[in-house]
């Protein structure tokens, strides 16, 4: 066994390091990788970010967006949120056992956590189970990866705001997140708990000292370019946005009594229905984001409202409002 902690707080670097470690772990070995990211919203491989988070608000805060190479739901990374990743040189992850070991480590800090049927780690707060950790998984023919979050003292208010999406009318495939009441580990303790304390407890549970892992180390040992490729992927539009499964979204109540239905494929507008031909021509092929729409249509009232709704700043009118009109 080995236990690594990342030198970086860049979400793209750390997700790429996970892929790199998975590609090179020897048969039957087990590694634990721990890291803390600067604020970012990370969605699962098969998810639709437009359904999962408020894009404009997150960009206004200066946070990053990233897509994992594992499935599961959308999570908010940030200071006070520790990410753990168990990598094994066998194709089957030991999901329950991994979580039980994390729970055992937390018990040494006075925290009485449990795992539920959804493989979340929960902590009783005022006799109510609150989620403090969620997991996702990845398997190859020779290795497996189990990664998850641990809310220690994260800003839960910002987490809630980032994931609170206004009403949207989408016909979309892909995996939807399952909301759960969350809490910080700090909420159940009378004394302060630090990131270093949790990392140390996990390292002791795995029986190894912490080793610092840097991006430079990965680059120097990147024989098969697994890290280089993963790092490039994490920063690409084609991966972050273009991997979104095809979907359609309908907008009504737009200025000029306009109703639009947009088909989006690989993160770009592929078809436009319900408007004049010149508007459809201007929208076709654009990245499905607010700024490209504003640049293409100009500072019109219609363009501004459409851009807001694409970015999650506002939603479609309620059913009652539509009936009144």
pTM > 0.85 = yes
Tell me how far apart the alpha carbons of residues 216 and 202 are, in angstroms, rounded to a whole number: 25
Terminal Cα-to-Cα distance of the chain (whole angstroms): 65
Tell me how far apart the alpha carbons of residues 280 and 253 are, in angstroms, rounded to a whole number: 18
Q: Cβ distance 174 to 47 under 8 Å?
A: yes
Residue 202 burial (C-beta neighbours within 10 Å; 0-12, 13-18, 19+): buried
3-state helix, strand, coil in the chain (%, to 5): 35, 25, 40
Task: Spell 297-306 as b/e; 16+ CB within 10 A means b.
Answer: beeeebbebb
- The 3-state DSSP class for residue 270 equals strand
Question: pLDDT tens digit string along 66-101?
Answer: 999 999 999 999 999 999 999 999 999 999 999 999
**The pLDDT of residue 318:** 57
Looking at residue 9, the DSSP 8-state letter turns out to be -
Residue-range domains of the chain with CATH: 2-240 (3.30.930.10), 247-324 (3.30.390.50)
Cα dihedral 294, 297, 301, 304 in deg (nearest 10)? -20
Q: pLDDT tens, position by position, for the chain (325 residues)?
A: 999 999 999 999 999 999 999 999 999 999 999 999 999 999 999 999 999 999 999 999 999 999 999 999 999 999 999 999 999 999 999 999 999 999 999 999 999 999 999 999 999 988 899 999 999 999 999 999 999 999 999 999 999 999 998 889 999 988 899 889 999 999 999 889 999 999 999 999 999 999 999 999 999 998 889 999 999 999 999 999 999 999 999 999 888 888 899 999 999 999 999 877 788 899 999 999 999 999 999 889 999 999 999 999 887 875 333 322 2
């Amino acid at each position: 066994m080995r236990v690594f902690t990342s030198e970086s707080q860049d979400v793209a670097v750390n997700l790429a390091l996970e892929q790199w470690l998975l590609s090179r772990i020897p048969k039957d070995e087990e590694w634990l990788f721990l890291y803390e990211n600067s604020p970012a919203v990370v969605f699962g491989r098969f998810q639709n970010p437009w359904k999962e988070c408020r894009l404009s608000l997150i960009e206004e805060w200066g946070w990053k967006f990233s897509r994992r190479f594992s499935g599961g739901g959308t999570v908010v990374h940030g200071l006070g949120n520790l990410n753990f990743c168990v990598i094994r040189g066998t194709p089957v992850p030991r999901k329950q056992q991994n979580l039980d070991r994390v729970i055992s480590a937390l018990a040494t800090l006075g925290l009485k956590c449990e795992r539920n049927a959804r493989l979340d780690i929960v902590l009783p707060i005022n006799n109510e189970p609150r989620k403090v950790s969620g997991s996702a998984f990845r398997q190859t023919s020779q290795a497996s990866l189990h990664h998850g979050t641990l809310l220690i003292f994260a800003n839960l208010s910002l987490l809630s705001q980032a994931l609170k999406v206004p009403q949207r009318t989408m016909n979309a495939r892909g995996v939807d997140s399952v909301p759960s009441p969350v809490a910080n580990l700090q909420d159940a303790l009378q004394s302060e708990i630090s990131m270093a304390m949790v990392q140390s407890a996990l390292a002791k549970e795995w029986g190894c000292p912490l080793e610092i892992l840097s991006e430079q180390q990965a680059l120097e040992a990147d024989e098969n370019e697994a890290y280089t490729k993963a790092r490039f992927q994490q920063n690409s539009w084609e991966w972050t946005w273009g991997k979104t499964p095809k979907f359609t979204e309908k907008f009504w109540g737009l200025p000029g009594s306009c109703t639009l239905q947009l088909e989006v494929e690989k993160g770009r507008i592929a078809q436009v229905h319900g408007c004049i031909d010149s508007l459809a021509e201007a929208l076709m092929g654009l990245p499905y984001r607010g700024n490209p729409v504003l640049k293409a249509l100009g500072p019109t009232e219609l363009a501004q409202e459409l851009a807001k709704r694409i970015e999650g700043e506002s939603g479609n009118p309620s059913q009652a409002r539509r009936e009144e009109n």
